[in-house]
């Protein structure tokens, strides 16, 4: 029982942290929101998960797990693709700066 309370507290804190922390893109924020929500509903039990699913308009709790899990996976994929795009832009900027610095060094030789 104590482990359930500890993990519920952790997932709830992560859920609140997703609203407070400034993220570089929306996918990271949504990934943390839906991931912590998925963790929260997986810990609370099937009875409450079914109530939340019914409130959200889903047939039962297992479909809620499925939909939230798929959404979290897709958000992770988008977050990863966005991060690789940012890294590619940073690498191209650094390579341009290195080329300009090497050109300046070659002019002074």
For residue 31 the two structure tokens come to 């990934």
Domain ranges, ordered by start, for the chain: 2-107
What's residue 108's pLDDT? 80
Predicted local distance difference test score (pLDDT) of residue 96: 95
pLDDT value at residue 28:
85
pLDDT score for 91? 97
Q: Which residues contact 56 (CB under 8 A, 6 or more apart)?
A: 64
What values do phi and psi take at 56, rounded to 5? -85, -5
Classify residue 72 by burial, with Cβ atoms within 10 Å: 0-12, 13-18, 19+. Answer: buried
Average pLDDT per run of 10 along the chain, which is 109 residues long? 88 90 85 89 87 89 89 90 92 95 86
pLDDT of residue 97: 95
User: Please, are residues 32 and 18 in contact by the beta-carbon 8 Å criterion?
Assistant: yes
What pLDDT does residue 89 have? 95
């Amino acid at each position: 029982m104590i482990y359930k309370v500890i993990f519920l507290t952790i997932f709830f804190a992560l859920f609140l942290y997703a609203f407070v922390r400034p993220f570089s893109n929306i996918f990271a924020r949504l990934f943390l929101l839906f991931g912590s929500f998925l963790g929260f509903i997986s810990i609370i039990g099937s009875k409450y998960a079914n109530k939340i699913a019914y409130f959200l308009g889903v047939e039962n709790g297992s479909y809620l797990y499925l939909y939230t899990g798929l959404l979290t996976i897709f958000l992770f994929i988008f977050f990863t693709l966005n991060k690789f795009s940012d890294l590619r832009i940073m690498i191209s900027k650094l390579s341009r700066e290195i080329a300009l610095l090497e050109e300046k060094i070659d002019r002074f030789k």
